[in-house]
Structure 1
């Protein structure tokens, strides 16, 4: 079971003006192989997002951190920018797979600025803020994710053997 954290970026959600449906969808999509140990909603503030990602990765050390929200074109959408500043390694294939999968359903998928990367032994994946976007993004990556997490956590050998 993979220790998982969920971080939602939503100004209205952080103020209690909107119920978080994307976090619920993340939990539902993950299934039994993932244990959500941390869940928080914060506003779309770059410095706060950076600080929270660092805290989660450095102090709580989950295998997986899924963020939701703040991946679009709005001036308040700063999640990928904050993530980029605190990761140690970029993992471009994950958002590429998400966008490719999404493009099979809507041309708007190309508008996502989401990124993925590694900090310490935590894989961070930016997801969209919509329930549909979260569900489809996780459909795209979950089949391969456990292997990557096992390698990152030191529980599996490298890819391409056999």
Structure 2
């Protein structure tokens, strides 16, 4: 039994057409189990289309009511990379620190990490985070923020009051 109800959306024309393996989601499955004691509740693969991405994100947040929605792929500079634009269209609030930390952590391994356009935010009671479309990038980004995901979800759900934050956690 998973601790969190997690949805994943893969944005990739080649994976959608069956031309390439979805090895990034395989990596994500491993990381979710190891770090959050959770598994993917629902996964969708869609082509790189703003409208299809938005529609799928809304389905998983509003109808499936996932706690955490992770997108994989479509965060680069290619004209096909439209995941951040789709995410912008569905989130209520930005959570920029998560995307900033993912970029910072990835820069230690590749200067190209500064070219990612990944964003994060909330829609209702769901935390949404964009990840890159390669397994190494998924691992770097996920491990950079995974310790903050439980606290973020608790806050979004109204389960954490000021009194429950330890002195060390305050800034």
State the partner residue of 1:58: 62
Picking from 26, 29, 36, the partner of 2:28 is 26
TM-aligned CA distance change 1:134 to 1:143, over 3 Å = same
Taking the aligned partners of 1:106 and 1:160, their CA distance within structure 2 comes to 34
State the partner residue of 1:122: 126
Q: What is the TM-score with the length of structure 2 in the denominator? A: 0.91
Could you list the runs of 5+ residues in structure 1 that have no partner in the other structure? none
Could you list the runs of 4 or more consecutive aligned residues of structure 1 that deviate by over 3 angstroms after TM superposition?
158-162
Shift of 1:134: 0.2
Does 1:72 pair with 2:76?
yes
Could you list the runs of 5+ residues in structure 2 that have no partner in the other structure? none
Taking the aligned partners of 1:153 and 1:28, their CA distance within structure 2 comes to 25
Q: Is the 8 A contact 2:44 2:56 kept in 1?
A: no
State the partner residue of 2:85: 81
- The C-alpha deviation readout for 1:20-42, integer Å capped at 9, x for no partner, is 00111111111252231101111
Shift of 1:9: 0.5
Picking from 108, 114, 128, the partner of 1:110 is 114
Taking the aligned partners of 2:16 and 2:110, their CA distance within structure 1 comes to 29
Shift of 1:99: 0.3
Shift of 1:150: 1.2
Superposed CA RMSD: 1.3
Does 1:141 pair with 2:148?
no
Q: Is the 8 A contact 2:154 2:160 kept in 1?
A: yes
Tell me the SS of whatever aligns to 2:146: helix
State the partner residue of 1:7: 9
Moved more, 148-157 or 67-76: 148-157
Taking the aligned partners of 2:12 and 2:106, their CA distance within structure 1 comes to 22
Picking from 148, 157, 160, the partner of 2:161 is 157
- The C-alpha deviation readout for 1:15-67, integer Å capped at 9, x for no partner, is 11111001111111112522311011110011000111111100011110000
Q: What is the TM-score with the length of structure 1 in the denominator? A: 0.96
Taking the aligned partners of 2:80 and 2:131, their CA distance within structure 1 comes to 16
